[in-house]
């Protein structure tokens, strides 16, 4: 598979407009969308998608809370935080499902992930985006499966040790097996759909980060200001599209996570409340899942903002270095040869702090404009 991908990459180098379907593989993403029943390409699939959503995100949590509340059970099997857990998971599943359904119907997978715009980018960006696309589906499993394993262990223990106390219908074992399976499917569905929406936002942000890193190379070679500005306007327009597309989802996620965690804090710090693993374990798993999804969104937004600010700093530094170089050449006292970094950066000045190892990849303090005289001061100033 890797050899095939390399051959397809060589084809894309020969033809810049060629985008391989195997290199930018959407099979894993489409499989994931089908797994959470978000494929609404036809009427019956849309009906199936909404039916499963109402079953797993609305019906099962309501029945689980009111029928299996187990108020007469012992202390270990009572669920005082179940209402908050079910309401939080269902609310996040609702906002994620509604947004994903809208994006899927309006844009489609390729357009939503900007795969149709990759004909104008370099092979490095295409290859990096392909790797990030495959990595996102792995991250979904990494984030969801450990919490699901803990939830499964807790749910199986709850039914196994509470046999006879927990309400059942008909045969005890069959009733417990069906209800346990439905509860686990509901938990997995609601958590996965929220994490998936967060990872899709991270994926689109990562593409723009790759484009910004590739755009930074424009300042290291001879390029017309018009081409730099045209590429900058393309990236700026894409960033604005991403911001408008995800702003409601991120804002609602931030508000709901804050509200749910604040309510959970108020419930657990009451003087009459005894917090232990048996009662608050499910609440802890719910909080971890929600905070992970929000953390993915905020981290992606922070990274892309940081890269955009780095480009601004890089353009300003490029303009300053080129201006100094051009004035030195016009002065007559300095040689006309290309200036080395020591002439631009004063010796003995340490611009990089040893304590900050995770610096900015785009911030090159020893930047030297190789073609300082090919672009006029007015054009550089206008670009900056």
Average pLDDT over residues 346-371: 47
Average pLDDT over residues 327-352: 43
- Residue pLDDT, tens place only, 4-32: 334 433 443 444 444 444 444 566 666 66
- Intra-chain end-to-end CA distance of the chain, in Å: 44
pLDDT at 372 over 90: no
pLDDT at 148 over 80: yes
pLDDT for position 249 = 93
- Residue pLDDT, tens place only, 320-329: 766 666 555 4
Average pLDDT over residues 187-194: 92
295 vs 226 pLDDT, higher one: 295
367 three-state secondary structure = coil
pLDDT for position 75 = 76
Q: Report the share of the chain in percent with pLDDT over 70.
A: 71
pLDDT for position 4 = 37
Q: Can you read off the two tokens belonging to residue 121? A: 């980018």
Please state the pTM of the whole predicted model: 0.77
pLDDT at 112 over 90: no
**pLDDT averaged over every residue in the chain:** 76
pLDDT for position 336 = 40
- Residue pLDDT, tens place only, 263-320: 999 988 887 777 777 778 889 999 999 999 999 999 998 888 888 788 777 777 776 7
pLDDT at 237 over 80: yes
pLDDT at 186 over 70: yes
pLDDT at 128 over 60: yes
When mean pLDDT is compared over 19-23, 145-149, 162-166, the highest value belongs to 145-149
170 vs 339 pLDDT, higher one: 170
Q: For the chain, what are the domain ranges? A: 16-322
pLDDT for position 344 = 40
pLDDT for position 384 = 59
pLDDT for position 108 = 77
Q: Can you read off the two tokens belonging to residue 195? A: 């994490």
pLDDT at 199 over 70: yes
pLDDT for position 363 = 55
């Amino acid at each position: 598979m890797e050899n095939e991908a390399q051959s397809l990459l060589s084809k894309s180098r020969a033809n810049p407009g060629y985008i391989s379907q195997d290199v930018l593989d959407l099979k894993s993403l489409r499989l994931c969308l089908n797994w959470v029943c978000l494929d609404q390409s036809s009427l019956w699939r849309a009906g199936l998608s909404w039916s499963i959503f109402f079953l797993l995100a609305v019906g099962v949590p309501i029945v689980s809370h009111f029928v299996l509340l187990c108020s007469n059970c012992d202390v270990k099997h009572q669920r005082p935080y179940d209402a908050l857990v079910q309401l939080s998971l269902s609310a996040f599943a609702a906002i994620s499902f509604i947004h994903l359904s809208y994006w899927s119907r309006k844009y489609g997978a390729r357009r939503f992930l900007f795969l149709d715009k990759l004909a104008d980018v370099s092979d490095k960006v295409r290859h990096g985006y392909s790797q990030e696309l495959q990595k996102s589906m792995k991250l979904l499993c990494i984030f969801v499966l450990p919490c699901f394993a803990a939830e499964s262990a807790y749910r199986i223990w709850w039914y196994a040790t509470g046999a006879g106390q927990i309400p059942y219908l008909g045969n005890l074992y069959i009733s417990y097996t069906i209800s346990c399976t439905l509860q686990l499917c509901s938990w997995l569905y609601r958590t996965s759909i929220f994490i998936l929406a967060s990872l899709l936002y991270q994926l689109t942000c990562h593409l723009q980060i790759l484009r910004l890193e590739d755009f930074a190379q424009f300042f290291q070679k001879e390029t017309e200001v018009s081409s730099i500005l045209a590429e900058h306007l393309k990236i700026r327009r894409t960033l604005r599209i991403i911001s408008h597309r995800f702003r409601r989802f991120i804002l609602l996620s931030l508000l709901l996570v804050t509200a749910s965690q604040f309510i959970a804090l108020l419930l657990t710090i009451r003087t009459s409340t005894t917090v232990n693993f048996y009662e608050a374990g499910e609440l802890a798993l719910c909080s971890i899942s929600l905070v992970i999804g929000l953390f993915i969104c905020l981290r992606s937004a922070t990274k892309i903002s940081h890269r955009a600010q780095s480009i601004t700093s890089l353009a300003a530094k490029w303009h300053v270095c080129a201006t100094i170089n051009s004035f030195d050449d016009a002065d007559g006292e300095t040689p006309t040869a290309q200036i080395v970094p020591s002439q631009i950066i004063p010796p003995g000045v340490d611009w990089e702090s040893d304590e900050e190892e995770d610096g900015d990849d785009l911030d090159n303090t020893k930047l030297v404009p190789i073609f300082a005289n090919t672009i006029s001061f007015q054009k550089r100033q206008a670009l900056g």
